[in-house]
């Protein structure tokens, strides 16, 4: 089966810009897959999604959705995709249900089908009692759910979701996650851009991490986490008591089984939090780590075990520097 999304050597340079926003990006998304597109601010995610949804013209390379080249045949491509943007862009002159029906009609969905689909999607998104509500009277979570319903009404092959749970309360977030997971069984391909690593780890079959318009890595969240040096982590919160903080990573790396040490507290924080990536069973290292610190009269206020997460992978690949 052809990939649902196929990006080959994609390049985008905005006019007057000195560098490429997308710089030779290639990846594929399989039909029915939930794909997480991750990257720091300015990495080129929105530009890539913009190209795939025909809103941005590529400078070079190719991009296909559902087998259709987005630059060569944007009209056909638009029938294949739907976008749920981060900001509410519902039509405020229409009520909730009319927003769905109007969108379906724009995409050529037949009259009875669009009314049937509107009711079905309102129910599925927990909005059956909001059919006649004005857009301005919907909560942020309800508006978000209505935008997902609107995106699905013309039965797109690929759904692009931009930060789907930003600003949602925990219940709404779980609800939206459940609906996204349901799409997998409906065979809808989902491309999810998010800065929420828990969300990406939970929902994505595979994630691609981009930075500076290039793909840094692409794999399942589990494989990426496994690829981190060390199989677990030990977090240590300490007060150096005069011991040179710069010498701490070295001191702790010398403990048998510690593979890498990273400072996770900000530079100006008097309390130091260090994350130790360990190859051995992390629990077995608590004693030796505490001992090494104690011998240098370093106060330990907390020592805890943790498993690495997708966030650790992300930080390892893209660094801690603010963009």
Ligand X SMILES: Nc1ncnc2c1ncn2[C@@H]1O[C@H](COP(=O)(O)OP(=O)(O)OP(=O)(O)O)[C@@H](O)[C@H]1O
Residues that bind ligand X (CB under 6 A): 14, 17, 21, 39, 41-47
Least separation in angstroms between residue 314's CB and ligand X is: 12
Least separation in angstroms between residue 150's CB and ligand X is: 22
Which secondary-structure segment (H or E) carries 199? helix 197-203
In this structure, are strands 272-278 and 232-239 parallel, antiparallel, or unpaired? antiparallel
Q: In angstroms, rounded to a whole number, what is the distance separating the alpha carbons of residues 154 and 103?
A: 8
Least separation in angstroms between residue 49's CB and ligand X is: 8
> Which one, of 235, 248, 243, 226, lies nearest residue 316 by Cα?
226
Which CB sits closer to ligand X, 210 or 238? Answer: 210
According to DSSP, residue 323 is labeled -
Least separation in angstroms between residue 80's CB and ligand X is: 21
Which CB sits closer to ligand X, 125 or 190? Answer: 190
Which CB sits closer to ligand X, 48 or 189? Answer: 48
Q: In angstroms, rounded to a whole number, what is the distance separating the alpha carbons of residues 136 and 129?
A: 15
Which CB sits closer to ligand X, 17 or 171? Answer: 17
Which CB sits closer to ligand X, 6 or 211? Answer: 211
User: Dmax of the chain from CA atoms?
Assistant: 78
Which CB sits closer to ligand X, 96 or 313? Answer: 313
Q: In angstroms, rounded to a whole number, what is the distance separating the alpha carbons of residues 98 and 153?
A: 12
Least separation in angstroms between residue 270's CB and ligand X is: 32
The residues with which 275 forms a beta bridge, in sequence order, are 235, 262
Alpha carbon 1 to chain centroid, angstroms:
25
Least separation in angstroms between residue 44's CB and ligand X is: 4
Where b means 16+ CB within 10 Å and e means fewer, 282-313 reads beebeebbbebbeeeebeeeebeeeebbbebb
């Amino acid at each position: 089966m052809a990939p649902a999304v196929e990006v080959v050597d994609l390049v985008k340079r905005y006019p007057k810009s000195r560098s490429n926003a997308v710089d030779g990006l290639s990846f594929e998304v399989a039909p029915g897959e939930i794909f997480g597109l991750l990257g720091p601010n300015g990495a080129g995610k929105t530009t890539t999604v913009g190209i795939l949804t025909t809103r941005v013209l590529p400078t070079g390379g190719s991009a296909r959705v559902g087998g259709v080249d987005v630059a060569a045949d944007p009209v056909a491509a638009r029938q294949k995709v739907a976008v749920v943007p981060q900001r509410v862009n519902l039509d405020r002159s229409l009520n909730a249900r009319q927003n769905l029906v109007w969108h379906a009609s724009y995409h050529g969905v037949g009259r009875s089908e669009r009314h049937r689909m509107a009711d079905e999607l309102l129910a599925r998104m927990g909005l059956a009692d909001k059919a006649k509500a004005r857009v301005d009277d919907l909560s942020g979570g309800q508006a978000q759910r209505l935008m997902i319903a609107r995106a699905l009404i013309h039965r797109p092959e690929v759904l692009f979701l931009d930060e789907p749970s930003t600003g949602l309360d925990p219940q709404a977030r779980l609800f939206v996650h459940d609906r996204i997971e349901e799409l997998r069984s409906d065979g809808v391909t989902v491309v999810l851009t998010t800065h929420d690593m828990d969300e990406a780890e939970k929902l994505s079959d595979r994630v691609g991490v981009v930075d500076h318009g290039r793909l840094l890595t692409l794999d399942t969240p589990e494989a990426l986490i496994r690829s981190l040096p060390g199989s677990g982590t030990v977090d240590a919160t300490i007060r150096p008591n005069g011991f040179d903080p710069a010498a701490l990573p070295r001191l702790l790396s010398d403990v048998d089984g510690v593979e890498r040490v990273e400072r996770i507290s900000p530079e100006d924080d008097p309390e130091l939090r260090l994350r130790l990536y360990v190859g051995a069973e992390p629990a077995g290292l608590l004693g030796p780590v505490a001992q090494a610190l104690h011998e240098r009269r370093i106060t330990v206020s907390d020592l805890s075990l943790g498993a690495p997460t997708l966030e650790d992978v992300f930080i390892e690949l893209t660094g801690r520097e603010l963009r």
